[in-house]
Chain A
Amino acid sequence: MMTAPLLNSRQRDLVNKILVTGIATFVLLTFIAPLGYMFTTAIKSTKQMGDSGAPWYWPFSIKSVEYQGKALEIYQVPLPEGMRELAILKKTNAQTTFLDPQNLEAEPIVWEGNWRKLDPVYVSDAQWQNFKQAWDDLNFPLLFRNSVLLAGVGTFGDVLSAILVSYGFARFNFRGKNVLFMILIATIILPVQATLIPTYLVFAKIGWTNTLLPLIVPHFFANGYNVFLLRQYFMQIPRELDEAAMIDGANPLQVLFQVIIPQSIPAITAVSLFHFFFAWNDFFTPLVYLASSPELWPLSVGLQKFNALYGRLPNLIQTGALITLVLPVTIFFFAQRIFMQGIVFTGVEK
């Protein structure tokens, strides 16, 4: 009699692996199920959304056949000879007249019973033209252009200024440096509302409201978050590199551009991406400053207004949401390593 263990350790590991990965897959599917809803709804028609009998996971329509200029819906009918797919010609509560979709000229078939008890025959029927409609109704190209402009120019300004400021903090000594750095860190958590009203009033006074300027110009003065990240990175670059360049006669600006920046491309890329998405997703500031200029709205505001307007067309709203999130999500997948390392860097090191 042998009592060998049911599984050896290798097999046990495999079972564990399948179990844990299975759980993770289930959790993940639940977590991103709303994206599935978004996708199928985005390609449904209003009628398909209202059809509770149809399968939920994909747009389906009741199969129909053209007869004398009318579309006849096809149902599954239990006849003595078995289940048949027949097109409804005439329906009453007591009996229904059917045609054979294969042979429309043949004698109609009469079935005693309520047609409502029958199951319709569904065929896949995706409404790809929803994309075209949402694209046009949203005025997507315009919103997209505004978002790219805002996020692009803002990112350029912010990263450029953050590089200068981080270099100042990382490499030079001056009175009040520590205090200034503390203030800089404190501004990260400062709510925009604390400064919003006077800033808004000044921008209104100089005619900047309902232009892109209030959303772009302040970005040219560095923000604490980006400076914090870049300063950490710059401080890790050996000073010997600076000094070698200085011996060759480089001034601090040249050191920055010839030594520090080329050494920091990964960090600068991460900061640029962070800032780009921060600006891309910003909703509050454009809402405040561009309230009466629809032609300047970025995607965030445009999509919200679209929702307020088209509340009765939930399918088109999902189409709109879908075309809005494609770009950020795609960029994320390409740059996920940079993103996720950057987050860990700020979250744990700070």
Chain B
Amino acid sequence: MALSQTRSLSQTTSKSGSFLSRSQERWGYFFLSPWIIGFLVFTLIPILGTLYFSLTNYSPVTPDETKFLGFGNYKTMLTDAKVAKSLVVTIKYAALSIPVSFIVGLGLAVLVNAKNLAGKNFFRTMFYMPAMIPVVAGALVWAGVMNTQTGWMNQMLETAGVQGPDWLNDPGWIYAALVFIGLWGLGNLMLTLLAGMQGVPTELYEAATIDGANGWQKFMKITLPMISPVIFYNMTLMLIGAFKYFDLAYVLKNGTGGPADSTLFYNLNLYKNAFTYNLMGYGSALAWVLFLIVLALTLVLFRTANMWVYYGGEGRN
């Protein structure tokens, strides 16, 4: 048992006898019990349940006709045009929103970290604030701003002599609209990047100054590489976020997935199959595939964890 004892064990307890370690163990499990029970009841068993349902054609409307399909649902997915469309939508959104969010987030972090900025805390708070606005309210505010008749966005473009697009009803512009709306949630990204920047040892900049580097060179050659773990961590989270994307697409288009299925995100398609069409067997197959995708992305995150765990320990201030 001593073998399984972890490094965080303090000196005093590791010296004590088997009675104490057994009581340690009992107390440990006692305190963990809420989570262990919750994990079994609300996570592990349901995940296995999802796997089981995914092998059937279960529908709550016709439970008596439930049949075991084997991998039938998974085969259907391969030829289901909606699934293909939903994957395209999800990946297209991720490909567009991740770089834009990242560049804007980094820009904001640089701005609120600027030596010459007066009222730094005020600006940090204000740039973070929209992230606290409930998603539904935020979506409706943006839908108003992007209204072709009464919204400020197109009125502004008109003063500049440009005919604004129909942001929310044009399949070509809806992604731009979603990316814009997504910018309001950048607070977390900005703050983590900011903390990363503040953790870069100042000696590096001093040395670079002596070598005659300018501000841009210092940013590209010191700041960016030093905060790359934070960047990578956030990008992975954003990619996972695209596969969890639901609320905004649902609120903006009332769950239709329109225009022309251009907001039919993977999760929205799953929701419609399971809860609108009551195809819970098929929905479970979609959910299980989603689980595998997110698991794969998470493993990438974990496999590279030593990069940013090391950084987190060293760069704190």
Contacts and interface: CB of A to CB of B under 8 A. Distances in A.
Contacts of A195: 42-43, 46-47, 49-50
A325 B9 CA distance: 46
B46 A37 contact: no
A317 B251 CA distance: 12
Interface in A224-255: 227, 235, 239, 243, 252
Contacts of B164: none
Given A180-B32, A187-B39, A348 B230 contact: yes
A152 to B, nearest CB: 16
B42 A221 contact: yes
B280 A197 contact: yes
Interface stretch (A66-74, A88-96, A298-306): A298-306
Contacts of A49: 150
A128 interface: no
B98 interface: no
A31 B5 contact: no
B151 interface: yes
Interface string A1-44: 00000000000010011011101100110011111111001000
B35 interface: yes
Contacts of B42: 195, 199, 218, 221
Interface string A207-230: 000000000001011100001000
Of A174, A190, A348, the most chain B CB neighbours within 10 A belong to: A348
B231 to A, nearest CB: 11
B114 interface: yes
A328 B244 CA distance: 23
A173 interface: yes
Contacts of A123: none
B53 A197 contact: yes
A20 B183 CA distance: 21
A281 interface: yes
A348 B116 contact: no
B155 interface: yes
Nearest to A193: B287
Given A189-B298, A195-B42, A348 B315 contact: yes
Nearest to B315: A348
A191 interface: yes
Contacts of B47: 194-195
B49 A328 contact: no
A222 B34 contact: yes
Contacts of B316: 348-349
Contacts of A243: 12
7 contacts: A169-B31, A176-B4, A280-B134, A283-B247, A324-B136, A336-B128, A340-B124
* 10 pairs of A and B residues whose beta carbons are closest in the complex: A221-B38, A168-B31, A198-B49, A172-B28, A347-B192, A195-B46, A174-B28, A194-B291, A321-B137, A174-B25
